[in-house]
Amino acid sequence: MEPLDYDRDPRVRGPFETLALLGQGGMGRAYLARRLLLEGWDGSWETAYRIADADAVSMGEDSLAVLKTIRTELLTDEDARKVERNRARFVAEVDAIRTVVGPRIPAFLGAAPEAAEPWLAMEYIAGPSLDTQVKQGGPITDVGAWAALGLGLVEALESVHGAGLLHRDLKPGNVVLGPNGPVVLDFGLAVLAERQDFSNALTKTGWALGTPAFMPWEQYEDSKHVKASADVYAIGSTLFFTAAGRTPYTGAPAPWAPDWKDVPAAFLPLLGRLFASTEAQRPQLPDVRQELSAMLARNGLSYEAAAQRLADIVAAAHLTPRLPAKAISEGPDPEVREQAQRAVDHGAAPDAPWLDDGLFDELSPDVDLDLDGEANVVPHDDAHSAPYTPTVPDQGEAQTDQLAPPGPTRMYSTKTTDPAQKSARPMPPADPAAESRRRPVVPRSAFKVAERLRRAYAHSGSL
């Protein structure tokens, strides 16, 4: 863990205070964070931050979390399509973490992917990554500990696949050896199995997405069309690394068996099947579970005894990250709590914008929609324009007690009470094309405003 630099690192995101930097990658940065108990928490906040588990809402003040953010430059690119794609990938990760529930998956705690500076929070698992454990503590060749690790990975992927998802990036760096065994992290590349053929999928045909050293050959060639067997292969490559202390291949994967040097003979039958180059030849998750359980039985070990062996190896290495003093302090700074309270109450920084001043611009009567559905605002005539009084005070402006009197409401009706006028009105010709042109067309901007209103309401019950 590294200390925070507040020139670039946030102090709060939603109801979470950041405490230390855990790491960073191509998409963003991950922080150790602490849940803040704020005033007025209700169902609207739960909707706003996508919190579905009541137990997560009732976490204690000092409950720790991992908070992930997107790198600023990925959201400020001049190419709007790139920005949209980066946000879409982040939203996909949020949805994946919310969907997958299991003892080997960290609990989802909240997210605001539509905020100006998006974030998501999940349960913090105290323990070293499998990558760190093997590189600094040495390979794990004890049969019981190795099999217990494998069973934990199987259980995690059963939760992922049971939710209709593929992980696509299982590797030692995404496995944490926590107090209750292995936990699988990072759903940034997770994908709905039945949606891989969508034209707007984040992964395109022929693209390799994931970590080459741990992915099968077919994923290296085309990540879009991989199946559950690719995740099964990743169990094999992760267990290979655990036992040998090295990756199966140097760099990219290969469609042939790896060098089995340094791998205990007891592990070879299962690993050989997991590394099958043909997807159909690989075992399925229930088969892997059965073989690992049989391995324990042949060595006279129960799962509990094997899991304890793994826990003892992790404890002896003393590689669990040490928490910063701030994480075990009595509580957050009052200024930090106040900043978080403003953010969740009124959409203030850093969670803005969901109460921006232009929320209703697209539906203004002085807006002329062009052919692309974009809004072109026509200037007001000062002699006839009324002062703007927001329902919710504008950010940075004081709320006034005097409200402008409401203007007259114009009611429109297609009915008439004058029979003469009704009979004198000419009937239009029965022209299907003309009829089609007269049908009301809902502009795209109206849908945008509807979505923004939904978000705004979710973040503030005062709207």
Which residues are marked as active site?
A: 169
Q: Measure Cα distances from 430 to 89, 423, 434, 437 in Å.
A: 49, 18, 8, 13
Helix, strand, or coil (residue 423)? helix
Asked if 17 and 336 count as a contact pair (C-beta separation under 8 A), the reply is yes
Q: How far is CA 418 from the centre of its chain?
A: 61
Angle at 120 (CA atoms; ends 118, 122), nearest 5 degrees: 170
Residue 375 is inside which H or E element, if any? strand 375-377
Helix, strand, or coil (residue 45)? helix
Helix, strand, or coil (residue 118)? coil
> In degrees rounded to 5, what are phi and psi of residue 109?
-115, -25
Residue 438 is inside which H or E element, if any? helix 432-438
Q: Which two tokens stand for residue 43?
A: 């169902």
DSSP secondary-structure letter at 429? P
* DSSP per position, 271-285: HHHHT-SSGGGSPPH
Helix, strand, or coil (residue 287)? helix
Residue 193: closest CA among 282, 65, 99, 280: 99
Angle at 210 (CA atoms; ends 208, 215), nearest 5 degrees: 90
Q: Which parts of 43-190 are beta strand (E)?
A: 64-70, 108-111, 119-123, 165-166, 175-178, 181-184
Q: In DSSP terms, which residues pair with 177 in a beta bridge?
A: 182
